[in-house]
């Protein structure tokens, strides 16, 4: 994900923002400074409204982050690693390294986010009832925090996949039917229903109430709709790849290269003659690294003839799968680390590699031949 900027880490989880989030920051600051604060707290200066608007928009960021952290930290205690959290225009996404293995685990991971938001909302709501002057910025911020956290909790509880409420629904269906695929299907259809409902509501608002608010609802609806559809396809694909083993796709006679070979030799004999973009580097049958087209770019062309492959190859991290692993595991590694291929470690021996292109080719072939 090159469109994401990494900000910092909390409990080992990388926190990043997607560039679309910057548009949300501007939009929310503007709405808060021009509409929300002036109509609820009249009589402040316009500078004050803008300061409050920007603080308010940043607090949406913090509220979404706390919500996502709740998901991530609970996932970690349940044994599912979380590598990163990304905030984008419509909220946040915790990038779990794998799907939860049992319905009960998915249920807890899903419900804890909205629960955290609702509890926070309730706490801020309670604080507004303390002795705070209701015309002050402090009161305005606390009251606003209670509202956005309650909204965040309620919106995410809508029972359409991939929203949290949809995950709760899916875990219940999964638990009662025993089929993750069937549960995902139903929960995504409900998700698409909510998507269409938001679009209809948005169009109505655009025409007869407030164009901008209507546009926003339509946008959320479109997003819900398309992500429900994408999630369903992704789960179906994972199910299919989950039953195919790496060894069924691996090429036994794949070329490997010795670390002492020169870069020039590798370019001439491997990359020019074969279609791949990477080659496993092996010594005495053992895997020692991987050399890719990107690695070659590290040295000038004049030096190719005198530079051994071991000088440019990648030695760590090496992402490997075993021949007995399924393709889903390979694809998850490829996606998670944004690499083009994984090495196949055949009980410590050099077993070749499996590329993203190999998996895509298999999917295309299966689709063309109608193989399920």
- Chain positions contacting Zn ion, by CB under 5 A: 113, 156, 164
Residues with Cβ within 8 Å of residue 133, at least 6 apart in sequence: 139
Residue 137, judged by CB atoms within 10 A of its CB (0-12, 13-18, 19+), counts as: middle
* Least distance from Zn ion to the Cβ atom of residue 156, Å: 5
Q: Which is nearer to Zn ion, 113 or 159 (CB)?
A: 113
Q: Which is nearer to Zn ion, 166 or 221 (CB)?
A: 166
Rg value, the chain, Cα: 26
Separation of alpha carbons 74 and 310, rounded Å: 42
Given the complex with Zn ion, which of 156 and 320 has the nearer CB atom?
156
**Closer residue to Zn ion, CB minimum distance, 156 or 355:** 156
Least spacing, CB of residue 155 vs Zn ion, in Å: 9
- DSSP type of residue 303: G
The answer to whether 112 touches 74, Cβ cutoff 8 Å, is yes
> What minimum distance in Å lies between the beta carbon of 151 and Zn ion?
13
Q: Which residue is nearest to Zn ion (CB)?
A: 113
State which residue, 156 or 341, has the beta carbon closest to Zn ion.
156
CA pair distance 10, 272, nearest whole angstrom: 45
Report the nearest approach of Zn ion to the CB of residue 86 (Å).
13
Helix (H, G, I), strand (E, B) or coil at 138: helix
Q: Please give the angle made by the CA atoms of 273, 279 and 283, to the nearest 5 degrees.
A: 120
Please report how the helices 164-177 and 103-128 are oriented relative to each other, as an axis angle in degrees rounded to 10.
150
Q: Which is nearer to Zn ion, 84 or 156 (CB)?
A: 156
Within 10 Å of residue 172's Cβ, how many Cβ atoms? 16
| Strand pairing class (320-321; 341-346) | parallel
Q: Tell me the closest approach of the beta carbon of residue 71 to Zn ion, in angstroms.
A: 5
Minimum gap (Å) between residue 113 Cβ and Zn ion = 3
Consecutive H or E run containing 328: helix 327-336
Nearer to Zn ion, 113 or 221 (CB): 113
């Amino acid at each position: 994900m090159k469109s994401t900027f990494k900000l910092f880490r909390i409990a080992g989880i990388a926190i990043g923002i997607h560039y679309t989030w910057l548009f949300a920051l501007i939009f929310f600051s503007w709405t808060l400074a021009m509409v929300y604060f002036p109509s609820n707290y009249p009589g402040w200066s316009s500078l004050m409204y803008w300061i409050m608007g920007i603080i308010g928009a940043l607090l949406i960021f913090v509220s979404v982050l706390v919500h996502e952290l709740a998901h991530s930290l609970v996932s970690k205690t349940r044994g599912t690693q979380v590598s990163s959290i990304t905030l984008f225009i419509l909220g946040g996404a915790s990038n779990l390294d794998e799907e939860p293995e049992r319905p009960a685990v998915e249920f807890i991971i899903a419900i804890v986010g909205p629960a955290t938001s609702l509890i926070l909302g309730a706490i801020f709501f309670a604080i507004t009832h303390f002795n705070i002057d209701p015309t002050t910025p402090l009161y305005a911020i606390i009251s606003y925090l209670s509202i956005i956290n309650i909204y965040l909790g309620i919106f995410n509880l809508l029972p359409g996949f991939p929203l949290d409420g949809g995950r709760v629904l899916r875990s219940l269906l999964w638990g009662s039917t025993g089929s993750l695929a069937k549960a995902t299907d139903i929960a995504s259809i409900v998700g698409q229903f909510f998507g269409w409902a938001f679009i209809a509501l948005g169009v109505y608002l655009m025409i007869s109430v407030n164009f901008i608010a209507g546009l926003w609802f339509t946008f959320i609806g479109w997003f819900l709709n398309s992500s429900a559809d994408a999630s369903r396809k992704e789960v179906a694909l994972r199910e299919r790849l989950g039953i195919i083993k790496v060894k069924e796709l691996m090429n036994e006679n794949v070329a490997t290269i010795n670390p002492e070979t020169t870069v020039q030799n590798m370019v001439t004999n491997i990359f020019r003659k074969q279609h791949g973009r990477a080659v496993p580097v092996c010594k005495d049958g053992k895997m020692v690294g991987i050399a890719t087209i990107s690695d070659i770019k590290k040295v000038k062309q004049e030096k190719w003839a005198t530079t051994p492959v071991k000088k440019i190859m990648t030695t760590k991290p090496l992402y490997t799968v075993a021949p007995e692993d399924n393709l889903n595991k390979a694809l998850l590694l490829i996606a998670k680390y944004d690499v083009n291929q994984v090495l196949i470690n055949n009980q410590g021996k050099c077993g070749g590699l499996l590329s993203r292109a190999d998996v895509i080719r298999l999917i295309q072939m299966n689709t063309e031949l109608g193989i399920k």
